[in-house]
Amino acid sequence: MRRHWQPAALSEELTADKPLPVTLFGEELILFRDDQGNPALIGRYCAHQGVDMIYGRVEPGGIRCMYHGWLFDNCGKVVVRGDWLPGGEQRMSVGQPAYPCLETGGVILTYMGPGEAPALPAYEFLVKPPARFALTKVRRDENYLQGILRADKPALNGAKFVMPNLVAHQGAPSGTESWVRWHVPLDDNSHEEFTFRYFGESPIAGGLLSAGYQVLLKAIDEILTQRGSLEPAAKDL
């Protein structure tokens, strides 16, 4: 799932001046907006002495830890150490995890996988939301798979399952409701359910489904290759 763009929060949740704590795939993170208003996602605890960045101050250039004043940019790198240090501003090579973000269709998405982020699939409900559109987010205290079965079971027969955690249901062409539900794991026991409801045509085209399938095949191939390269070492032991 980390190899796909995943929703981290609703756009309306993130103001210009306050950081927003989020958890994704068991990682505690903090979202904030940089000087351009673009969302940034970095590790929640300061790389210096682990203070919670929920108390951080959003400023031009990044977010500042309120304990000793280190300033982190939107890539999680330390830009400025406290003014109390001799030499004043110094860029340091330390930092904390940071993940790229995109904002579209009322949500902030992030890519937490290895390497360069792939292009965001051109889901119609994200890039061209229709006029009659509603977006909600609900926290569920259950594994994301349980969530898919509980929430989507009655409609699963007619739904398109876009691996690994997105379910789309198309309404009748006469203009009944269509929806997309995105089940994003916070950890093994809870997830966030993003629901996009609208009146429109197919929310997911066939080309996008096969694009997702290709991502899955590539990931499996890489895992098998890694396993193959480990096996001789294991035999040697």
- Contact between 44 and ligand FES per CB under 6 A: no
CB of residue 33 to ligand FES, shortest distance in Å: 20
Q: Which residues contact 33 (CB under 8 A, 6 or more apart)?
A: 14, 15, 16, 39, 40, 58
CB of residue 235 to ligand FES, shortest distance in Å: 46
The smaller minimum CB distance to ligand FES, of residues 69 and 95, is found at 69
Number of residues that bind ligand FES (CB under 6 A): 9
- Cα 10 to Cα 107: distance, rounded to the nearest angstrom: 4
Alpha helices in the chain (DSSP H): 124-127, 144-152, 206-236
β-strand partners of 181: 167, 195
CB of residue 38 to ligand FES, shortest distance in Å: 23
Name residues contacting ligand FES, limited to 45-104 (CB under 6 A). 46, 48-49, 51, 65, 67-70
Helical (H) or strand (E) element with 92: none
202 to 90, 160, 175: CA distances (angstroms)? 52, 10, 11
CB of residue 67 to ligand FES, shortest distance in Å: 4
The DSSP result for 192-227, as a single string, is EEEEEEEESS-SS-HHHHHHHHHHHHHHHHHHHHHH
The smaller minimum CB distance to ligand FES, of residues 78 and 208, is found at 78
Name residues contacting ligand FES, limited to 110-149 (CB under 6 A). none
Name residues contacting ligand FES, limited to 194-233 (CB under 6 A). none
Binding site for ligand FES (CB under 6 A): 46, 48-49, 51, 65, 67-70
